[in-house]
Every structure is written in structure tokens, then in C-alpha cells.
Amino acid sequence: MSQQGTVRLTMAQALITYLQEQWVERDGVETKFFAGCFGIFGHGNIAGIGQALGQMPAFRYYQTRNEQAMVHTAIAYAKTKNRLQTFACTSSIGPGATNMITGAATATINRLPVLLLPGDIFARRNVAPVLQQVEYEGSQDFSANDCFRPVSRYWDRINRPEQLITALPAALRVLTDPAATGAVTLAMPQDVQAEAFEYPADFFARRVWRIGRPRADRAALERAAAWMRASERPLIIAGGGVHYSEATDALQRLVERIGIPVGETMAGKGSLRFDHPYNLGAIGTTGTFAANRIARDADLIIGIGTRYSDFTTASQTAFQYPTARFININVASFDSAKQGALALTSDARATIEELTALLGEYRVADEYRAQAAQLHDGWEAEVERIYAIRNTPLPSQGELIGAVNEHGDAEAIMVCAAGSLPGDLHKLWRTRHTKQYHLEYGNSCMGYEIAGGLGIKMAAPEREVYVMVGDGSFLMLSAEIITSIQEGYKLTIVLIDNDGYKSIGALSRSLGQEGFGTRYLYPQEGVLPDDRFGDDVERLPVDLAANARSLGAQVIECQGYDDFVAALATAKEAEHTTVIYIQNDRLLGVPGYESWWDVPVAAVSTQPTVVAARAEWEEGRAKERLFFGQEDQ
Ligand SMILES: Cc1ncc(C[n+]2csc(CCOP(=O)(O)OP(=O)(O)O)c2C)c(N)n1
Ligand SMILES: [Mg+2]
């Protein structure tokens, strides 16, 4: 039994007391794991967690505007902190809870830790159905919170206050384990939150979760070194794990020593500076011709901290060398086993360092290095070309990205998530420090941008934060502008308006579907206008600049490129959240560079454009490969 006796607390008070005492340690540095709690109160959490947070102000409570947004703020914070710190998120029951499900999916897909505490229906049941309870005829042991199960890495329901004693350590184990992390959901029945229990005092002692650097199996490591020596055209794919493991310096040393070129995923961008000669930039569907050409002929692909999404593999068409094989360095065996790889299930930094030592004086051939360097330079020239476009009457997105990149603060962090911006940014953004490029492209969730920007600013208040957001995403979730003002976290929000979905419009066109349903326009004779209506359309009376102003932001409206550059300078000096509003050309896009994405086209259609697109799709589909793993050659 306890050496120090017990403490009588409500379940919610015990929860907060425990969370305050949780720390992580990596490389000898200890960090408090929870920076506080985001929340929106309702009857499902006000008397429990709400009461506890009010009584314990040391565990800072932040009020937000939308439950999905607050989870995204927590995710962005955790990503900026390389998973060493995060937030808890409390919601009421019913819609407040289910609003967090999208956030849970975003966390789990991106392997980022967040603790979700949705309120739940009464455990004691006698007053059921309570307000917002989904009744399920087949069992009383179900609630809407069961929907969190498939999007959580750990899920539990606390039906008795003492269940916290086993649930919380299990939750913390998952949150702090780099191989297991993602959303953790502890459903909190409303009545149980307020019940008191005699908790053992020892349960609340300071607890440090040690995050190690697991090493790869020695035999597998030696085999990997042998594969690398035997390779004539190796390529590294740098994923998010390079950042989370803080392996960027180690990666640079390996690359410079051996001369291996690098392609970067959405989460891995910034692993090397953009101007490093071996950095071929973005890889895959939204990749550069430099990375995609090298990938096509690579005989050995070394994936570091990547989950091989279809954007990275160009829907499994990126690697065409007949006997291409893979080595994967990943802390999660689930990911290291992908692509039939030789799996080095281990910490990225530790394994890169061990591999570098094992490879000794080995170098790739000069000719291959020269080819990579030439492709790098060729790509830089292409970026220059796109940055220099001065389209009229409306600017192109490429030139606006160039303006933010070149005229914005060089130490800033840029954030984006959905629309046509991510693909353009992946190709064009010149990353000058490791954390500068923050893309949520696992869930690519519209509405992440502003909420995420807030989380980044909270994690790195010394940096400027540029939120790049389209009109569609802005309309979905922009109310965290208010939270940024309430809490004094300045954001610079670049709001790019093109009257709808430039991205999905272009996708629709590529499928032969003429942009149907992707513009914000009045219907004509009961039909939403597509491309066939040309400019003979009526725009909606929406004023997004006024909308942003109404939330308390300073708003600068720009007409063209020069205005936009001037606005960036004004925003840099501003003290609180500033929105730079600009319209851009909805049709002028940055092209794809020798890559593909599998979006199946209708197999039969009355539209000739669809039939033509289907034939093209079948050709692309034929290039998709399977990798079963190669024995030593
Ligand atoms: C929550 C959510 N719903 C739908 C989508 C599918 N989707 C991806 S991009 C996009 C349009 C985004 O529009 P906007 O933010 O204006 O960016 P643009 O495409 O115009 O650059 C949609 C609907 C998504 N990614 N996320
Ligand atoms: Mg748009």
C-alpha cells in the first residue's frame, strides 16, 4: 500500500494533478510533458474537469472556439516540439466530443501525441438518455465516444474513479513512446468526473518518462551497410522522423561523407537546407524533377522516418529500377517494414550515426554525385523562374510563395495543410532552418492552418509564424484568430482567395470533370456552374477581408505583387494577428514534375472528357509496382 497515505480528490482533480507531474527526458534534458489544457466547457465537463482546472490554475487552461481546432493547435505544438511536449484537450459530451474525432485522426496519422478527454454519458445510467446521448439499442455500453477507437492509439473509458490509476500510466506510455504515439482518448463519464476517491498519494509523484534512442539490430545494420556499398544509385528519403529524432545534423554528415542525394517528404522537408547540393527537394507526386528522376532509377532507397504515403511513392510509380530495394530506418516496425524493406527498427539519429561509422571511407561514384548536383541546380533555376512570374491581373500562387519566402522573416515558421498550396509549397518553398516548413499533410485537413499556426506560435513565441491558407480552408475554420488575439500570440495569415477550390478544380479537370462543384458561385437554373460556363458566372457576396477584421485581426488588402510585398513588411512590424488578403489566379498552377497520383477515373461516362481521362489513368496505373523484398544480391 501507499507509503504516504491517500488523498481524497475527485476523478477530474486527480487527473489534472497527475498530468502536472508528468515529464519526459531525452538526451539528458527533462521537459514537462503537458503545457496545459485546451477546452470548451459544456455540461459534460464543466463540473468535473472544468472545476478541477479552475481550482488548479498552475495547469493552464486555454479557451478555444472549436474542438477540432483545439486538437489541431495541440498537434502543431507537439510537432514543433518534436513530440516532447503536448496539450490535453477537454470537451463536453456529444457534439463537442465528436468534433475532436477529426483532430484525433490528424494526430494519429501524423504520429503526433495529443491527449483527448471527451466527456461521456453517465456511468450510473439511471437518468439516461442524457442530453446529447446517442442511444444504441443493442447495448448500454456504447456512446458516441466509441467513434474515437479507430483513430486513437490508446482508448479507454473511466467508469470508476480508481480506473485512472491504471489508465493514465497506459496513456502516458503510448503518448511518450515514439513508435506508438498518436491520439490517446480517455472518455470521461460526466458523473464519474465529479466523484471523489481516496487516491494513493504516490500516484501523484513526479514521473519522468525516458525516451531512448533504440539501436538497430547489429546484423541488420551490417547488412544495410553492405547493401549501401553495393549500390550504384542510392537515394535517401527524409521523412518527419528525421525531425522528431533531431537527426538533421547527423543526416547532413552522412550525406556529405558518402555523397547520397536526398528527397524530402512533406513532413521531412527542412531535413537539409534548400541550397545543400545533395538536397533534391520534394519527392513524389508533389516532387521536383530532380528528386523524381533520381528516384526513378535508384537501385537502393533508404527511407528515414517516412510512412511512405501515396504522395511520397507517387502511388507506387516513383521507383522503376527493376531490382530496386529498400532500407528503412524507422522507430516503428509498422513503418520500417514497408516496401519489403530491410528494416532497421530504431531511432533515426542513432542509426544514421552508426551507419556513417560502418561505411568508413565508402563514397558513391563521382559521376552520380555530379548528376545529383546538376539536377539540384537545374531545380533551383526552375524555382527562380516561378518566383519571377508576374501574372496579371491576378498574381500566380508561385510568385506569392516566392514573396513570402524571400520577403518574410527568414527565421519564421510557415504552416499550411490543404488546397493547392501544399503541393506548390512542397516544390517551391526554400527551407532555411529545420523547423521552417510545417505541413500537416497526413490528414491534409482543411482548417488546420490557423489553429495549427496558433500551436506553433505557442511552441516558438520567438519566431514569426506565416499561416498560408486558401479561402476554402479559411471558411471552414478561422475562429482561432480570436484565440490568438485573446492570448497575445501574433500570427501573420496569408489568405489566398480564388473563389473556391483551385486544387480540387484542377484535379476535377484532370479527371475530365470540368471543375464541377469546385467554385463558390450562384447556381444557374438549378446547376452549379463548371468550366463550361466560362466567366459568365455570378460570384457570391462574400467579403473574407471584412470577415477576418470582424474577428479582431488587422487586415491588409492587396491588389498585386508589390502591394503584397509591402504588406509583408507591415505585418512583420505588427504586434498582433494580421491577415494579408489577396486574390489569385485560380487556373494558373505550378505544374507536376514527372510524377503521378492515383485518383481513379470513372470507368464509364457520357462525358467524352472523362472517357479520355480514363484511358490516361489506365496508362499511369500500369506503372504501379509492388515490392516484396530482395535477398542479398
Ligand atoms: C476537411 C477537409 N474537407 C475536404 C477536403 C478535400 N479538399 C482538399 S483541398 C480542398 C479545397 C481547398 O480550398 P482552398 O482552401 O480554397 O484552397 P485552394 O484549393 O483554392 O488552393 C478540398 C475541398 C480536405 N482536405 N479537408
Ligand atoms: Mg481557394
Per-residue pLDDT averaged across 511-528, rounded? 96
Within 151-299, strands assigned E span 154-157, 183-189, 196-200, 207-210, 234-238, 262-264, 279-282
Strand partners of residue 329: 304, 344
Q: How far is residue 282's CA from residue 289's CA, in Å, rounded to a whole number?
A: 9
Confidence of residue 514 (pLDDT cuts 50, 70, 90): very high
Is pLDDT at 2 greater than 60 in this prediction?
Answer: no
Per-residue pLDDT averaged across 583-608, rounded? 96
What are 60-119's pLDDT values in tens digits? Answer: 999 999 999 999 999 999 999 999 999 999 999 999 999 999 999 999 999 999 999 999
Confidence of residue 535 (pLDDT cuts 50, 70, 90): confident
pLDDT for res 204:
98
What are 325-352's pLDDT values in tens digits? Answer: 999 999 999 999 999 999 999 999 999 9
Does residue 471 have its Cβ closer than 6 Å to ligand 1? yes
Q: What are phi and psi of 207, to 5 degrees?
A: -125, 130
Cα torsion 555, 557, 563, 569 to 10°: value is: 10
- Does residue 47 sit in helix, strand or coil? helix
What is the whole-number distance in angstroms between the Cα of residue 446 and the centre of ligand 1? 6
What is the whole-number distance in angstroms between the Cα of residue 583 and the centre of ligand 2? 9
Q: Which ligand is nearest to the CA of 583?
A: 2
Per-residue pLDDT averaged across 368-394, rounded? 97
Does residue 419 have its Cβ closer than 6 Å to ligand 1? yes
- For 48, 100, 128, 190, 365, the CA distances from 131, given in Å and listed in that order, are 17, 18, 8, 11, 69
pLDDT for res 4:
77
What is the whole-number distance in angstroms between the Cα of residue 510 and the centre of ligand 2? 17
What is the whole-number distance in angstroms between the Cα of residue 548 and the centre of ligand 2? 16
What is the overall mean pLDDT for the chain?
97
pLDDT for res 1:
47
- For 179, 346, 348, 350, the CA distances from 213, given in Å and listed in that order, are 11, 7, 8, 6
Is residue 331 packed enough to be buried (19+ CB in 10 Å), middle (13-18) or exposed (0-12)? buried
Answer positive or negative: Cα dihedral of 502, 507, 513, 514.
positive
- For 480, 483, 578, 580, the CA distances from 574, given in Å and listed in that order, are 18, 17, 7, 12
Helix (H) / strand (E) element for 387: namely: helix 366-387
* Pairing, β 578-583 against β 554-558: parallel
Most distant pair of Cα atoms in the chain: their distance = 79
Q: Which atom of ligand 1 is found nearest the CA of 102?
A: 1
Contact call for residues 529 and 537 (beta carbons, < 8 A): yes
Q: Which residue has 502511388 as its cell numbers?
A: 315
Per-residue pLDDT averaged across 453-470, rounded? 98
Round to the nearest angstrom and report the end-to-end CA distance of the chain.
60
Q: Whose CA is nearest to atom 4 of ligand 1?
A: 446
Per-residue pLDDT averaged across 288-307, rounded? 98
Answer positive or negative: Cα dihedral of 168, 173, 176, 182.
negative
Contact call for residues 500 and 531 (beta carbons, < 8 A): no
- Does residue 329 sit in helix, strand or coil? strand
Q: How far is residue 570's CA from residue 578's CA, in Å, rounded to a whole number?
A: 9
Q: What are phi and psi of 437, to 5 degrees?
A: -110, 110
pLDDT for res 529:
95
Per-residue pLDDT averaged across 480-495, rounded? 98
| Residue 249, C-beta contacts closer than 8 angstroms, at least 6 positions apart | none
pLDDT for res 594:
96
C-alpha cell, 3: 507509503
Contact call for residues 354 and 221 (beta carbons, < 8 A): yes
**Ligand 1 pocket test, candidate residues 443, 499, 503, most atoms within 8 A of CB:** 503
Q: Cis before residue 608, ω within 30 degrees of 0? A: no
What is the whole-number distance in angstroms between the Cα of residue 471 and the centre of ligand 2? 5
Q: Which residue has 484537450 as its cell numbers?
A: 89
Q: Whose CA is nearest to atom 7 of ligand 1?
A: 419
**Rounded percentage of the chain residues whose pLDDT exceeds 90:** 98
What is the whole-number distance in angstroms between the Cα of residue 354 and the centre of ligand 2? 46
C-alpha cell, 475: 471558411
Q: How far is residue 329's CA from residue 250's CA, in Å, rounded to a whole number?
A: 13
Does residue 502 have its Cβ closer than 6 Å to ligand 1? yes
Confidence of residue 3 (pLDDT cuts 50, 70, 90): low
Answer positive or negative: Cα dihedral of 368, 372, 377, 382.
positive
Q: How far is residue 543's CA from residue 557's CA, in Å, rounded to a whole number?
A: 11
Q: Whose CA is nearest to atom 10 of ligand 1?
A: 419
CA nearest neighbour of 76 among 87, 67, 66, 65? 87
pLDDT for res 633:
54
C-alpha cell, 549: 477584421
Contact call for residues 396 and 588 (beta carbons, < 8 A): yes
